[in-house]
Structures are given as C-alpha cells and as structure tokens.
Amino acid sequence: MEPVNNGDLSAFHMEKGHLVLGSGWHPSLFRAEVDSLTGVIKILTPRIVLTNSSSGLDDSATVDQILAQPGIGSVSTLSNSFSEWLSDNPLNKNDSIAVRWSRHGERKPGVKGIELAKEMGGILTDAGYKIELENPEQVIELLIDGEELYWGYPLLKEPPRKGWKERVATQRPFFKPVSLDPRHARLMLNLAGTKGPLLDPMCGTGGVLIESASSGIESTGVDLDPEMVAGTLQNLEWSDTKARVICGDATRLSELDITGIRMVCFDPPYGRNAWRSDSTPELFSSVLDSLHSVCNYEAVMCCMLPSTPDGALVMGMEWQDIEKLFSSAGWKIDGDWFIPVHASLGRRLVRAERLQS
C-alpha cells in the first residue's frame, strides 16, 4: 500500500484500530471479506467497519480506503470530538494539512460536507496547523453517513486493486465468456482465507489460478476440456504466474495425485457451458464428494453457483436442498451471498467448511 500521508505510519498499523471503507458494490460481501482478512471489531455503517489492524487488506476486492487513528462523532458534537481527537492524535505542525470529505450513506438535509470540513479546518488552524487545500503534505479524511461522522489519516492513495485492469479476463490471450472476473476470483480467495494449497477443480481459463498464484499461493487447476487446460497454461504464462494444471475429471480427483488441499475456489459450469458432463446439480454433487476426498479437515471452499435473477433458486434447486447437497458430501455452508449478474442470471457465492467425516 502506498500511504497518502507522509511520515512514519508504521505505528498506525500496529497500535490503534482502523476505519475501513467499502467500495459500495456489495456492502455485505465487503464486511465478510474484511472480517475474513483481518477481523471486524464493529460494524459502524453498512460500508464502514472498525478493525484492529490493516494487515491483510492489501489484496482486498472490496476495500476503498483505510483510515488510521480513527475519530468518530456526529454533526452536533463535531467541534468537541474533533478537538479532543486532535489533541490525542497530533500531526506534524511543520507540514501543511487539508481535510477531504466524502459521503457514504444516507444524505441528511442540512448536512454539508464542505461546511463540516471548514469547521475541522478552523479547529486545525486554531491549533497551529497550516491549511493547504491544493497540495497538502498531510490529509485528514472525513466520511459522512447521515449525521454520523468518521475521520482519520488515509493510508491508501487508491483502492488496493492493483493490476486488475491489466488482468481483466478480456485482456488475457485465452478468453471465453465463462472467464471469471478478477474481482470475483479475488473475493473467493479472500473469503476462503489465504492458506494454500489451493485447488480449482474446474479451472476453465484460469481466472482463479491467476489471482491465487499471483499471491504466492501454491495452486492446482483441473479441467476436463484439453482446450481449457492449454488456454489456462497460456494465461498463466502471460500473467507471469505458475500453477499446476491437470486435464482430468473433477468428479474423480483422488485419481489425479492431488492431496492436502486447504482451499478450494471455483465456479461450476452452467447451461450450455457444461462440457461432456452430467446436468449441473448431479455433476456438482459428485464434485463436492470428490473434493472431500482430496481436502484436509477444515479446508474451506468458496464457489459461485448460478441462480435465478432473484437468487431464490440455485442451480434450479431450493436453498434448503442446496444445503443438503453440501452436507451429504461432508461440507457445511457457513456463508452465502447473492450477487446479481443480469436480467436473466444471478449468482450465489457460497462458503463452506469441510467436515471431518
């Protein structure tokens, strides 16, 4: 991460809590991802959470900003709470400073960001700081939700989604419409935890493998279609990452010399994309069974399942039947999120843990 504020920020990483702001794309996935990466102490608003640390958030798919030395107040108490916070969290008075503001939730009539920033600027001036709006050496960022206010020292110049534009599926040498977006691949990895070895049993064009291998996770991909296997290898070479890729059947993984897997991330085929296979639920059920045999106890799986546009039916089944499908293969679902895709398709991102037997 490249810090916005100059000076030594290492103490901020270690000592006090952090305010973490989500991108707004999917607030509940944001909270789940941050919780999985670093642990959420408190949910302050749908898009702002308090964490102990900022470590682990560098590869987040949903974080927009991290504020160190958090300050919390409201429109009516700003003057007192900001003055108190400033005396507890002094910055370098030789460096110029500015307050930046942004709104991330409810808009309350009469609550004006510019006015609040000016009020904070007045308190800074009275305390002996040099205000410089164009090119400040230090920044305090103010987040507004309704009448609630959150502020701190921003740690990120930009959201931590480095290289996504370059790695987007359509930029890869081997592209198919089924190719996973880096955001979805990264989310699955982050929700599953970062401990490899990882397996994508239906790796397609390698969307998951590119992200996992680029994070240094020992990764294996399997696909039944030789064209996909060749394409994945081509994409891995293009992204300068390495993974083991096997042409094989995800319903017979134990025959492929794969053992000790601790993370599984994948999206099974759906509709016309199923390739020389059973229809999706039967195939998926066999894959769950087969995964159980190559995974360690407490391995975590994240998968993206096709659903109706409202998320009600998953692979054509009611949700309780999906839960039964997982549990009868030895997996316990511990999280699921609906992701709208387009007018005729949705997705359920499911996280499950491998049970002992």
Ligand X SMILES: C[S@@+](CC[C@H](N)C(=O)[O-])C[C@H]1O[C@@H](n2cnc3c(N)ncnc32)[C@H](O)[C@@H]1O
Residues 6+ apart with CB under 8 A from 114: 101
Pick between residue 59 and residue 181 the one whose CB is nearest to ligand X: 181
- Nearest CB to ligand X, comparing residues 21 and 185: 185
Q: Rounded CA gap, 175 and 181, in Å?
A: 11
Name the residue nearer to ligand X (CB basis): 140 or 314.
314
When the beta carbons of 139 and 247 are compared against ligand X, the nearer one is 247
CA-closest candidate to residue 26, choices 183, 194, 212: 183
**Min separation Cβ 295 and ligand X, Å:** 16
State yes or no: cis peptide before 159, omega within 30 of 0: no
The CA-atom distances, in angstroms, between 74 and each of 66, 104, 111, 150 are 20, 14, 10, 8
Q: Which residues of 276-289 are buried (b: 16+ CB within 10 A; e: fewer)?
A: ebeebbebbbbbbe
Say whether residue 202 binds ligand X (CB under 6 A).
yes
Does position 211 bind ligand X by CB under 6 A?
Answer: no
CB 284, min distance to ligand X, A: 10
| C-beta separation of 257 from 244 below 8 A | no
Binding test (CB under 6 A) with ligand X, winner from 228, 258, 302, 322:
228
Residue 303 and residue 66: Cα distance in Å, rounded?
Answer: 28
Closer to ligand X by CB, 109 or 226: give it.
226
Q: How far apart are CA 262 and CA 300, in angstroms?
A: 6
- The residue from 160, 207, 330, 346 that contacts ligand X (CB under 6 A) is 207
Which one of 19-27, 83-91, 145-153, 178-186 is the stretch in contact with ligand X (CB under 6 A)?
178-186
Classify burial at 45, counting beta carbons within 10 Å of its beta carbon; exposed 0-12, middle 13-18, buried 19 or more: middle
Residue in 64, 141, 145, 249 binding ligand X, rule: CB under 6 A: 249
- Candidates 89-97, 123-131, 145-153, 203-211 — which segment interacts with ligand X by CB under 6 A? 203-211
- Using CB under 6 A as the binding criterion, the count of chain residues that bind ligand X stands at 24
- One residue of 187, 208, 288, 302 binding ligand X per CB under 6 A: 208
User: What number of residues does the chain have?
Assistant: 357
Region of 93-101, 126-134, 218-226, 238-246 interacting with ligand X (CB under 6 A): 218-226
Residue type, 48: I
Q: Is 20 in the site for ligand X (CB under 6 A)?
A: no
Round to whole Å and give the CA distance between 160 and 197: 24
8 Å CB contact between 224 and 275? yes
Q: Judged by CB under 6 A, does residue 180 bind ligand X?
A: yes
Among 224, 301, 303, 325, binds ligand X (CB under 6 A): 224
307 binds ligand X (CB under 6 A): no
Count CB atoms within 10 A of the CB of residue 308.
Answer: 14
Q: Which of 73, 75, 152, 151 is nearest to 111 (CA)?
A: 75
Instruction: Please name the amino acid found at residue 118.
Output: K
* 250 binds ligand X per the rule CB under 6 A: yes
Looking at residue 25, the DSSP 8-state letter turns out to be S
225 in contact with ligand X (CB under 6 A): yes
Interaction between residue 251 and ligand X (CB under 6 A):
yes
Q: 196 or 269, CB closer to ligand X?
A: 269
Tell which positions 254-283 bind ligand X, by CB under 6 A.
267-269, 273-275, 277
Q: Fill in the per-residue mask, 121 to 160: x = in contact with ligand X (CB under 6 A), - = not in contact.
A: ----------------------------------------
CA-to-CA distance for 73 and 105, rounded, in angstroms? 15
Binding residues for ligand X, rule: CB under 6 A, are 178-180, 202-205, 207-208, 222-225, 228, 249-251, 267-269, 273-275, 277
